[in-house]
Structure 1
């Protein structure tokens, strides 16, 4: 078996493969930071003691009926929930310079420090300090959410890259579930500990991620990217089986290169990543997890908090199923199946809600309609968790060529976070539509289906370098056929040169060897 960029002829040891998996899988822990905050803030702002500190008193008795007259204005509620996304937007802006200047590894470590500072500020009892803390924590989350999938894609073996990168989405769902558990255990406290404890737990997540990354090596592709230019180009040329002066091994790029219609089709790739993350937000999943309790209450469902817990459990369990399907079923097929399933479920929820959901029984509510709503909301979450949840991270982590990978991630995250920033405040308004809002989400899922068919190629089992070739030589619709041809013929050249499998050792198959370069 041929050696890697290090030039050795000993091949890939099992230890190297295992280490690559450990490196990329552990980085997924970064999703805990994002998921836990997502699940925490909605519960924190509903706690009696938090409202006593930051809320207002309504002497008329019309507001805050369950919190002794204390309430949070709609504008402040939108601000405190969505301001994290403002921070993550700026964090994404900083991800490229930090990731390229200090590296993927140290960029993640620095992100954890920034995040911890923001968490600390949220323990204060002043409104301005709390909000600033949300922004700073958001910057840390934005950095992590860009750098972690990048690090994973560059380190993970190609045959399980989908599963490894999908672990980031699983970590997000686990974070949300942990938040629900912690909130449930502290919600009845009659002191600042009720909300300070769930917030302070985030120090632990940052410490585990940052401390663990200190023990892991840097991304091998980043080492090539920042090494001596001539040596890095020769190494990457050997990696891709292409001339050292070819476009594919160019070691640097600009933001403008992300949108140019080059031979590598950078523009198509960048817009695909941007639109994919945008469509993921438009599936309506944030509405469920940020405003699900409000929606379930408005639908007349009893014990909405328990239903939210059930939704978190479904999300976590089905994400585990999803990440195991990515490298078996394929990216494109899973996205098509997921979009179709979500669309059907959401239309059913909407139709049942505006018809049978309006009828009443002797108990005052239509129990059958409630059960149908809950069931199909859970089915909808299951379809999302097995497809658009993890697969979106995988696709956006692997479609960019090395020279614009960091900048491409930043570009798509800017748009995604801008959409989140708009979506969260609107959630307060769309919650007022009650069950009718699912007509909107069903229609956007139809858009997800159409977008996937025309813009998402099948990349299952391909190295990052073969994905470059796929974009050059195949159409999107015929990508699966061309993918199978490349794998069967071990094709790595743009001019259809065929080499044996022993010469198709890509960088991700032996990342440990790269550090010897």
Structure 2
């Protein structure tokens, strides 16, 4: 660690050139924001299954009939009720098997993104995803339907690795956190769209009741695929491949300027210097992700993997996978309406999280967000355990506290986990390290999706926890707060190259103060704010022109 700091210090004190106006940075913001649209596919694919599990026609076509006769019991999620349903094992497999595909897709995403580039990597992901959706559409039985979810999961896994990486590499540092948070916002919008689609078709008397919500995903994939043809490739990937002229053109396009503009020249030099430094420590292999070197690669990789695991352990996907089923078992009259309400809260609450990302910081959001979710989950667990669906007022309170819990997740851990993982890795290992983080997310996602039916359902071999499962999520949220306090470094407002310096010279506990010092030092070199507003630039130019005229008159 001691050998890296002087090199970074020298780099940080070099002349820094900033964009002249806010308008000059808008193309980069727009490009990164559009890339976030891939999150809609992620969210929609995740959210669709919740409604399908409660869709009567889907259960008739793919499930079996359960008779509540006082001996064998009724449907697994509500033993007092007779009707069509999937078995606990089928529910577990169908729900969680998507994550099997996403796990391997996340790992595949790294070599695809490094070899083909970020844009073409996303196109490959969309093609694989569409094939998986078609398989689900033509399925007449669960084996083919589940296979389709695996294939679609491969595509989603690749997307979930490449999109945050691409966003982080093209977005300006002053708004990178908010822009990458847009990926999580797009996920919430996808979840909401899935709830609306499920609710709108649930009463159809034919297979359109479940095939229409599934087919809508193809439209989202087409929109993103067409849009990608108009986006520039990541300039950092171009530099890594030695294509400096193409990198300059991409940066110029992102900054609305020429390739010889000082902004472009300065950033190219910064990225190349950082990459040269990284390559002296390794060639960017998976093994390099776990090297305990001056760049703290191993600490960063393990932190990112644990962070993504903790995001899943907050219990949020219990709501988005099984929320409709949980609401029905808790006695809520219209479980589909509950799903829509919780997803609307998720979408709306993500917006203040995007705002807070650059003002409050990643570290504080993760710590206090986990503690807030812990408290809400304890209340939900206590209410559900005491009243068990027997009290209408308790049911309404349960819905309210679940929505507050969802809002806390949406404004903190939802976006922050993706933002942090997108910016903490050096360029040489970024694709591979981020793929490990994303695969960790999907591994925990699979484990929770697979285990939850056995945890909450009744019947032989099941834990029958029902609402008590929120005690488990409360405990994991508290552990996540402890993890964030000891391991998360504050990275807001820094360039990706400055994040390297931060890791090399400080610890998580002191990172907030060090971050402020680095921004103040850079502010002195840049001569003030990162970018000025367009009106301010015009006013300054007019003032300078007036002073020049006054000088001429005086002469």
Deviating runs (4+, > 6 A) in structure 1?
Answer: 7-10, 65-68, 229-232, 234-237, 248-251, 502-506
- When residues 269 and 10 of structure 1 are mapped into structure 2, their CA distance, relative to the original with a 3 A threshold, is closer
Q: Residues 154 and 219 of structure 1 are in contact (CA less than 8 Å); yes or no, is this contact kept in structure 2?
A: yes
- When residues 219 and 67 of structure 1 are mapped into structure 2, their CA distance, relative to the original with a 3 A threshold, is farther
- When residues 213 and 455 of structure 1 are mapped into structure 2, their CA distance, relative to the original with a 3 A threshold, is same
Name the Cα RMSD after superposition.
2.9
Distance 2:494 2:68 in 1: 64
Summarize the alignment of residues 383-462 of structure 1 with structure 2, pairs less than 5 Å apart. Answer: 383-431=408-456, 432-462=464-494
Match of 1:199 in 2: 214
Summarize the alignment of residues 48-59 of structure 1 with structure 2, pairs less than 5 Å apart. Answer: 48-58=56-66
Match of 1:215 in 2: 230
Bigger Cα displacement from structure 2, 456-465 vs 423-432: 423-432
Distance 1:260 1:396 in 2: 18
Q: Residues 237 and 244 of structure 1 are in contact (CA less than 8 Å); yes or no, is this contact kept in structure 2?
A: no
Match of 1:361 in 2: none
Distance 1:452 1:49 in 2: 44
- When residues 395 and 114 of structure 1 are mapped into structure 2, their CA distance, relative to the original with a 3 A threshold, is same
Q: TM-score, normalised by structure 1?
A: 0.88
How far 1:284 sits from its partner (Å)?
0.6
Match of 1:378 in 2: 403
| Structure 1 spans left out of the alignment, 5+ residues | 1-6, 359-363, 492-498, 507-517
How far 1:442 sits from its partner (Å)?
0.9
Q: TM-score, normalised by structure 2?
A: 0.82
Secondary structure of the residue aligned to 1:500 is helix
Q: Of 293, 296, 299, which residue of structure 2 is paired with 1:262?
A: 293
Bigger Cα displacement from structure 2, 365-374 vs 409-418: 365-374
Distance 1:106 1:472 in 2: 33
**Alignment length, in residue pairs?**
487
CA distances 1:185-209 after superposition (whole Å, capped 9, x unpaired): 1111111111111111001110011
Secondary structure of the residue aligned to 1:20 is helix
Secondary structure of the residue aligned to 1:70 is strand
Distance 1:36 1:217 in 2: 26
Match of 2:346 in 1: 315
Summarize the alignment of residues 27-426 of structure 1 with structure 2, pairs less than 5 Å apart. Answer: 27-58=35-66, 63=74, 69-127=83-141, 128-227=143-242, 238-239=269-270, 242=273, 245-247=276-278, 252-355=283-386, 357=387, 365-426=390-451
Secondary structure of the residue aligned to 1:123 is helix
Larger radius of gyration: 2
Q: Residues 32 and 167 of structure 2 are in contact (CA less than 8 Å); yes or no, is this contact kept in structure 1?
A: yes
Q: Residues 383 and 394 of structure 2 are in contact (CA less than 8 Å); yes or no, is this contact kept in structure 1?
A: yes
Match of 2:26 in 1: 18
Match of 2:502 in 1: 470
CA distances 1:228-281 after superposition (whole Å, capped 9, x unpaired): 59999x987821595885337879411011011110101110001000000000
Distance 1:81 1:399 in 2: 31
